[in-house]
Amino acid sequence: MNILLTGGAGYIGSHTAVSLIEAGHDVAVVDDYSNSSDEAVKRVEKITGRSVNLYEADVADKKKAMEILKKEMPDCIIHFAGLKSVGESIEKPIEYYRNNIDTTLTLLECMRELGLSNIVFSSSATVYGDDHTPPFTEEMSKGMCTNPYGWTKWMQEQMLDDAQTASEKGGDWKKPLSVVLLRYFNPVGAHESGLIGEDPQGIPNNLMPYISQVAVGRREKLTVFGDDYDTPDGTCRRDYIHVMDLAEGHVAAAEYAAGRSGTEIFNLGTGTPYSVLEMVNAFSKACGHEVAYEIGPRRAGDVQDSWSDATKAEKVLGWAAKRGIEEICRDAWNWQSQNPNGYNN
């Protein structure tokens, strides 16, 4: 299949590009480099030995999006493009709603005009809110989000599903849509080559890039956000999934989306939670020295526990995460130690 990745120069998109190419698909990428650069795509080409059609454009720019889609006429679009920082979304809600909602609306309009029918969307476990007890299953109702970023994911899911329902009735739609909503848990790690990985701008908000930067000497110590939760070691628990497992989940989802119609939701997680301190210890083992940390106060908006029930993806897509926290930490360290300053090393 010919698969177009919006936001394909980013962290998850670049790893997915590798897996798609290795599975025999052709890949095109459109990105505005607002949180990335073309270096990641060059490295994807280096890993795979294949070229990627690369377009620099804002996906919300309908004229440009139409030009690219007309040229590519992809069998499937995987829509990664979006702004993703929870804290920033609280400071800049308008920018988050504008970018995340607009990119999705523009893609849907273009798909309707061009008769393109398959789309896989990057959603997040954040849409479960804090109304449920884990493990989260896809049948659970969406909850109340605690920040604008979460609401954009919540709304984008709704928009895609509403468009799918309308497309079944015909009207302006040439074909019924096939929509696959992927709810990621906590993507971490890097490609085993160490050539591509997560390269956050500024101070990392997320745990694993922060730990990696402490380990490599870019930051002094990690602050653990609270050790007074009702968990075995008092720190929060999450479902950390290796980004290459996640990437392979996208291959399965894109292949599943083709040749069907409807909306289907899948959790992409491992089903196994680890605490913050367990992750710190696993990383210390992988890098061969202690990762310095101190205990700080809780972070506002954090839920105590979040992990998936990932059995639906296994049953329907035939996909399950294979890599554990040793591989996660080994590969994250391999990337960080080879690229101490990310792609600007």
- Taking Cα atoms as reference points, which of 296, 279, 277, 298 lies closest to residue 287? 279
User: Which part of the chain contacts ligand NAD (CB under 6 A), choosing from 34-42, 135-143, 252-260, 294-302?
Assistant: 34-42
- Which of ligand NAD, ligand UD1, none does residue 86 bind (CB under 5 to 8 Å by kind)? ligand UD1
Distance CA(182)–CA(154), nearest Å, equals 12
336 binds, among ligand UD1, ligand NAD, none (CB under 5 to 8 A by kind): none
The number of residues making up the chain comes to 345
35 binds, among ligand UD1, ligand NAD, none (CB under 5 to 8 A by kind): ligand NAD
In this structure, what DSSP letter does residue 229 have? S
* Contact residue for ligand NAD among 3, 4, 5, 11 (CB under 6 A): 11
* Residue 253 makes contact with ligand NAD by CB under 6 A: no
Q: What angle do CA 287, 35, 319 make, to 5 degrees?
A: 65
Active site residues: 149
Cα–Cα distance for residue pair 131/145, rounded to 1 Å: 10
Nearest CB to ligand NAD, comparing residues 205 and 284? 205
Contacts with ligand NAD in 123-152 (CB under 6 A)? Answer: 124
> Which residue of 32, 157, 239, 255 would you call a contact of ligand NAD, by CB under 6 A?
32
Please report how close the Cβ of residue 36 comes to ligand NAD at its closest, in angstroms: 3
Burial 268-283 (b: 16+ CB within 10 A, else e): bbbbbbbbbbbbbbbb
- Per CB under 6 A, the list member of 10, 135, 269, 273 interacting with ligand NAD is 10
Q: CB of residue 320 vs ligand UD1: minimum separation in angstroms?
A: 21
What is the nearest approach in angstroms of ligand UD1 to the Cβ of residue 113? 32
287: CB partners within 8 A, 6+ apart? 215, 329, 333, 337
Q: Are 247 and 15 in contact (CB under 8 A)?
A: yes
Buried b (16+ CB within 10 A) or exposed e, 78-101: bbbbbbbbbebbeebeeebbebbb
Partner from ligand UD1, ligand NAD, none contacting 107, C-beta within 5 to 8 A by type:
none
Q: From residue 184 to residue 213, what is the string marking binding to ligand NAD with x (rule CB under 6 A)?
A: x--x--------------------------
Q: How far is CA 61 from the centre of its chain?
A: 22
Nearer to ligand UD1, 2 or 223 (CB): 223
Exactly one of 25, 43, 84, 142 binds ligand NAD (CB under 6 A); that residue is 84
For residue 205, what are the β-bridge partners?
A: none
Residue type present at position 5: L
- Is residue 39 part of the contact set for ligand NAD (CB under 6 A)? no
Which one of 74-82, 216-224, 264-272, 334-342 is the stretch in contact with ligand NAD (CB under 6 A)?
74-82
Answer positive or negative: Cα dihedral of 285, 14, 94, 304. negative
Give me the least distance between CB of 124 and ligand UD1, in Å please.
Answer: 4
Q: Is residue 301 left, alpha or beta, with left meaning phi > 0 and alpha meaning psi from -120 to 50? A: left
**List of residues contacting ligand NAD (CB under 6 A):** 6-7, 9-13, 31-36, 58-60, 80-84, 99, 103, 122, 124, 184, 187
